[in-house]
């Protein structure tokens, strides 16, 4: 009995502190039963996996509580390239599987309302036009341990403030000459309350409002009011805004407008990468990577191109929960989720990355054997396919050693190995280039009684390798990726620039790989397991029908775990 009621409790208990707040608000009918969230990106870069956490959380809560989630571009800062970023952000959210309906908003849509709100504060004696220089302003601001000093312009009359603010808007002043500040408390222990700036003069054109404005609201002035205008009930943001909450509350209370509840949670961070848009932009502009959608980037467009599924990204967001303290998610646990999903869903195929020609001397010259190959041993419903076998095949260079170490169960002179779905072959002769000494081909024999699945031979060997019939193979380029940085937290080192930790081997391009013929007709979104090599997909940008390019999504095993384990035991 006891156990049962406990179980019941744990089932109905909200699974994180944000849900607890929402459910309490629903119980007390604080917002008339409404749940309305928003995702508020600043269109100054592409979205990354950290943003995905915020997207899944905001859209997910709205879904769960039958509410709504808006998308709102926080475009208070006029810059040049914003339109490109707006488009990419929308594409990424849709790709993750979320829909904002017709609720696509822009902070810049509220410029007029925000201006009216500012007038209201000026009239209440709660805002003033200041003429201190930027340097003076920061000196007057004080430090966290010392109170600030009031500006000599702080006590202008309301009329004077209204007049100057209107002239600021009309373009009568230059950039930086005047600002509008809230009149709060220069000695507050919370620095955000020391008369924060509400408006700056910037004679710059904006991607949506053009040249209509030359004064622009600060983020702090725009954000809470934008939430209020949209009737957002739960305004979810990351921890660095905790200290801004008293300011946002002050604005709302002074303006006497709808009060959204701000809730802070910990940022989602991933090991072996950087997550700030400024740093990602540096990587792009410095050509350390090939654009925002480089498959090594932690951006959603990079992960999409790499072949990660939206489901795996939603999964890692969900699995890691909502925290109140910053934590770093180990990329290995993310890769584990990706492997688990691809293991179930992908078709297996045979691909040779570094071809070594093998001639099977006792196999008839023109004979082609159509072998049965299983598409996915995890899922029989995915069926079988035919795999052609012929006298000349390719195997991977790695699967042959002239002088094999102990426990090398692949091919070596005089040794036998099984070819996947085919026969056991024996290496009879190694042919080398007479000048370079490089191995150019192997001559082998096959045992026709060892055909896979025929059960006609009792011969057993320890190793099985993949192969492709030479005359049936398709050429492709394959790109293998490794972590972009070689340390867990590249941005966490005060002495060194994060770019010093870029992994020089994060991209390996292999030309002239050989694919089995079933890979003839492909769609960009198809993903495969290349047996023994990892999970792969076509590169959506560089792959063309006459030049196939594949990306490795993830290897079959976590090769870093071994390295880390080894370095720990030393
Ligand atoms: P960055 O540090 O990458 O520049 P940002 O916070 O400036 O990020 P915004 O475009 O303002 O980027 O972010 C939009 C929303 O996504 C905000 O609500 C922000 O709190 C959230 N967000 C950004 N980064 C993360 C993260 N790493 N984890 C969780 N949420 C994040
Ligand atoms: Mg931000």
For ligand 1, the distance from its centroid to the CA atom of residue 100, given in whole angstroms, is: 18
Catalytic residue among 23, 34, 42, 420: 42
Residue 146 a catalytic site member: no
Q: Which of 302, 370, 349 is nearest to 47 (CA)?
A: 302
Task: Give the mean model confidence (pLDDT) for residues 486-515.
Answer: 95
CATH superfamily for domain 277-347+477-568: Ribosomal Protein L25; Chain P (2.40.240.10)
Cβ of residue 275 lying under 6 Å from some atom of ligand 1: yes
Q: Is residue 160's pLDDT more than 80?
A: yes
Cβ of residue 282 lying under 6 Å from some atom of ligand 1: no
Percent of the chain scoring above 90 in pLDDT:
88
Catalytic residue among 19, 120, 202, 267: 267
Percent of the chain scoring above 70 in pLDDT:
95
Task: Give the mean model confidence (pLDDT) for residues 226-246.
Answer: 97
* Ligand sitting nearest the alpha carbon of 316: 1
Tell me, what's the pLDDT at 82? 79
Dist CA 198 CA 178 (whole Å): 11
Ligand 1 pocket test, candidate residues 54, 218, 275, 314, most atoms within 8 A of CB: 54
Task: Give the mean model confidence (pLDDT) for residues 367-373.
Answer: 96
**pLDDT, tens digit (0-9, with 9 covering 90-100), for 293-312:** 999 999 999 999 999 999 99
Tell me, what's the pLDDT at 565? 57
Q: What is the pTM of this model?
A: 0.92
DSSP one-letter code for 40: -
Task: Give the mean model confidence (pLDDT) for residues 481-505.
Answer: 95
Cβ of residue 41 lying under 6 Å from some atom of ligand 1: yes
**pLDDT, tens digit (0-9, with 9 covering 90-100), for 183-231:** 999 999 999 999 999 999 999 999 999 999 999 999 999 999 999 999 9
Q: Is residue 483's pLDDT more than 90?
A: yes
Residue 527 a catalytic site member: no
Q: Which of 478, 267, 266 is nearest to 352 (CA)?
A: 478
Cβ of residue 156 lying under 6 Å from some atom of ligand 1: no
Cβ of residue 483 lying under 6 Å from some atom of ligand 1: no
Q: What does the domain layout of the chain look like in residue ranges? A: 17-265, 277-347+477-568, 351-466
Q: Does domain 17-265 have CATH number 3.40.50.880?
A: no
CA atoms within 13 A on the CB side of 34: 14
For ligand 1, the distance from its centroid to the CA atom of residue 55, given in whole angstroms, is: 10
Going by alpha carbons, the residue nearest to atom 4 of ligand 1 is 277
Cβ of residue 505 lying under 6 Å from some atom of ligand 1: no
For ligand 1, the distance from its centroid to the CA atom of residue 50, given in whole angstroms, is: 7
Q: Is residue 4's pLDDT more than 50?
A: no
Tell me, what's the pLDDT at 357? 98
* Ligand sitting nearest the alpha carbon of 58: 1
Question: Which one is predicted more confidently, 10 or 250?
Answer: 250
| DSSP annotation string for 454-489 | T-------S-EE-EEEGGG-EEEEEEEE--SBSSS-
361: left (phi over 0), alpha (psi -120 to 50) or beta: alpha
**Tokens representing residue 450 in the block:** 């060892």
Task: Give the mean model confidence (pLDDT) for residues 260-281.
Answer: 95
**pLDDT, tens digit (0-9, with 9 covering 90-100), for 409-465:** 999 999 999 999 999 999 999 999 999 999 999 999 999 999 998 877 778 899 999
| DSSP annotation string for 43-108 | SSS--BHHHHHHHHHHHHHHHHTT-EEEEEE---S--SSHHHHHHHHHHHHHHHT---TT-EEEGG
Contact 356, 329 (CB under 8 A): no
CATH topology of domain 351-466: Ribosomal Protein L25; Chain P (2.40.240)
Task: Give the mean model confidence (pLDDT) for residues 268-286.
Answer: 95
Domains 277-347+477-568 and 351-466 share a fold: yes
Residue 42 a catalytic site member: yes
Q: Is residue 39's pLDDT more than 90?
A: yes
């Amino acid at each position: 009995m006891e156990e049962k009621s406990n179980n019941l409790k744990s089932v109905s208990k909200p699974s994180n502190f944000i849900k607890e707040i929402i459910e309490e608000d629903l119980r007390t009918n604080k917002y008339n039963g409404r749940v309305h969230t928003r995702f508020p990106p600043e269109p100054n870069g592409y979205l990354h996996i950290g943003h995905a956490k915020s997207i899944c959380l905001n859209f997910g809560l709205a879904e769960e509580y039958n509410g709504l989630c808006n998308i709102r571009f926080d475009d208070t800062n006029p810059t040049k390239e914003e339109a490109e970023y707006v488009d990419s952000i929308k594409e990424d959210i849709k790709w993750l599987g979320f829909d904002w309906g017709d609720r696509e908003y822009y902070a810049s849509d509220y410029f007029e309302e925000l201006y009216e709100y500012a007038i209201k504060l000026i009239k209440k004696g709660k805002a003033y036009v200041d003429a201190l220089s930027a340097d003076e302003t920061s000196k007057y601001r004080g430090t966290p341990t010392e109170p600030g000093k009031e500006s000599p312009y702080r006590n202008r009359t309301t009329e004077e403030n209204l007049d100057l603010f209107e002239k600021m808007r009309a373009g009568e002043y230059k950039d930086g000459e005047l600002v509008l500040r809230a009149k709060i408390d220069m000695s507050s222990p919370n620095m955000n309350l020391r008369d924060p700036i509400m408006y700056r003069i910037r004679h710059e054109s904006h991607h949506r409002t053009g040249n209509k404005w030359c004064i622009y609201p600060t983020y702090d002035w725009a954000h809470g009011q934008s939430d209020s205008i949209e009737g957002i009930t739960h305004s979810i943001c990351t921890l660095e805004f905790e200290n801004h909450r008293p300011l946002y509350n002050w604005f709302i209370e002074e303006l006497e407008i709808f009060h959204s509840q701000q809730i802070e949670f910990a940022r989602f961070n991933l090991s072996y990468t950087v997550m700030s848009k400024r740093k990602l932009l540096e990587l792009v502009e410095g050509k350390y990577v090939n654009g925002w959608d480089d498959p090594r980037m932690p951006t959603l467009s990079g992960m999409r191109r790499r072949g990660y599924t939206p489901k795996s990204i939603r999964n890692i967001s969900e699995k890691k929960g909502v925290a109140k303290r910053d934590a770093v998610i180990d990329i290995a646990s993310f890769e584990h989720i990706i492997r688990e999903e691809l293991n179930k869903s992908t078709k297996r195929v045979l691909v040779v990355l570094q071809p070594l020609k093998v001639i099977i001397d006792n196999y008839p010259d023109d004979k082609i054997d159509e072998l049965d190959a299983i598409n996915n041993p995890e899922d029989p419903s995915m069926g079988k396919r035919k795999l052609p076998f012929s006298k000349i095949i390719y195997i991977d260079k790695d699967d042959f050693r002239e002088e094999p170490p102990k426990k090398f169960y692949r091919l070596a002179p005089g040794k036998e190995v099984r070819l996947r779905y085919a026969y056991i072959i024996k290496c009879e002769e190694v042919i080398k280039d007479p000048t370079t000494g490089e191995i150019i081909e192997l001559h082998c024999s096959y045992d026709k009684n060892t055909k896979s699945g025929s059960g006609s031979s009792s011969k057993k060997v320890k190793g099985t390798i993949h192969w492709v019939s030479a005359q049936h193979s398709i050429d492709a380029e394959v790109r293998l990726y490794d972590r972009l940085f070689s340390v867990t937290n590249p941005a966490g080192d005060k002495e060194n620039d994060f770019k010093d930790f870029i992994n020089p081997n994060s991209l390996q391009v292999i030309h002239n790989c050989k694919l089995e013929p079933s890979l003839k007709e492909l769609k960009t979104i198809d993903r495969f397991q290349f047996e023994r090599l990892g999970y792969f997909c076509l590169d959506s940008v560089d792959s063309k029908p006459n030049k196939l390019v594949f990306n490795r999504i993830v290897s079959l095993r976590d090769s870093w775990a071994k390295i880390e384990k080894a370095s720990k035991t030393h």
